[in-house]
Structure 1
């Protein structure tokens, strides 16, 4: 029996992330996630399993990250009464083992040869099954996609696409701090540990994601600034970009994962956004003003009323192709849905805070072949309908996955985690 068969099963399932030294007493608490405990033994066992599965990244760091997230996932599921049955757990274990063309018993035996207990595998599967059941219940009503969205996804030029899992750090760098910020950024760019990068994000980054160690959810590569795409695709998971200069700042991105995604929207043709400029830079007063404005504006048009008695330069609204957007603005907008705002950027040498709002995105118009296709033209009357159902299901699944990733990031940001 080859353990390499198991490795093939998990390569696409396991995300990379942060572990330190185990406690001398392996059964003593090593990490606390709110009131839930992770022992040193659990960390050791999960790391050993990940090593056998040949998971990308550092097994110890990944074990710590996974177990923290497992506690959050199981806690969320239990809070609404979700608990997998024994049959569901066994089915989940068999399904995972089947990815390596092994039975559940063969898979458990192979793990045992590497010193991994069956309970470690069982706990891993339990958390995954509980989370899937929870997100289906939690986000079922939010997973619907419109017919227009499906039409766009079926247009020519739309196909499977690459998506990336990033962490970000945006270091403010007004002229008086430019050299210091550059030196910090150059040091961070040498990191290969997600734990170190996350710690640096919490310490130095100006973005809202700093509370979550700079971690961002999965993003389509086409949503990112064109200048950034080849840089990211040239990285291996764990690697960090060279410092990227932006106006009044320095940006760094760590690649945590990359995969081929399913159906995607067409390439974005134009981005409509608004920038509301607030004097004072990143002072407490300016940030407080930004929160007030954001609370009063649900869409870009609302900003006109807020700025009507202020200088015309206070509000700037633009509709531009992605390639013409300033890099820092393009990246912030890539993280937003219409009506959402960001306060990560400044202008005027750091003296002006930018409240950035995404108004909307437009895609290239193209004829919809589904509208013109004659049923049975390819000898299968059900083919157009089947294709549409596949696309719809793919879009729904991706929407649920993104909602779940964002929710997990929120759970982690709000959790009290000690021992990281």
Structure 2
């Protein structure tokens, strides 16, 4: 049976796009030999490297498959121009990548959608995107990472005072308890809160873990539904305040009552409790960013979400995505105690890895949240009793390298000779 792109890939591409600094489509400098009017004739040249009309059409189609809206052709042209600049800089620096590296990048990219590279290419082909388009899309990102390494890795200096300043954001504190929970999350839909509350009461009435898991699979809107609502061990202090209070007095084998949250009603079942002992210190604080996308279901919201998926791998990348928007649309929170995180965000942040995003609904507005940092690890084997200085140093270096790479690309664009035919 034919598997279509929209059903097979689209739901998984938002997390998938974030695996590289900027993975983008592009062939290196096609010769300008095609006849005028041919789709293979140069439509744009960047430092004498051609971008054909066919490449633009392919990139445009690819971006539309990702859900991009608005002037997608211009978005495609801009992305291809940046790719040529990356490739031009690689030539100037004598940087090249092997076929093996590109193949590995293709396999890694596809694996984020639980597909092989061959399956990913097939799905794209069924929707009119060429295999070579995908290969060049990956290749551009792979070669840019090598350019960034050659220019900046090993040259960024971090002082002890820089690390001290970063470590002052958080203070280690002992972990009191860990909980092993299952969840049922019922979104408030067309039937309103009363209907959602009635469904949630079914979960709250479950007498066993198996009964709760069955209800979760049937009615829960959370991604954990496929696992019977099972969540991993987590610190009780990482839960939102209203959930933490309800869970604190639970015994294993019992559930909370329905708990209203933003846009949903949740129920939690206690599967296990660790009240202390030899456990690792808890996460001290969360760094995260929120970006107001727009009205729920609107073209603006979908387009901005697609832009984040295509361009933002870290929280710092959100600043360029939000350029031109009102300042209050983007908020960055640093060193926020887990219990002080708003309930709707606190329900999703524990499931995210740094750089991953989720969208929550606030009233009629979609708000994207990205986890920036989940706290700095403490290595008890090394006798550390506070946040790791090595981890803090690495984080500072990575942030500075990202900034420098963005500045390098901006400088290349400012000095490039770009001609539109």
Place the TM-score, normalised by the shorter chain, in its bin.
0.3 to 0.5
TM-score (norm 1): 0.47
TM-score (norm 2): 0.47
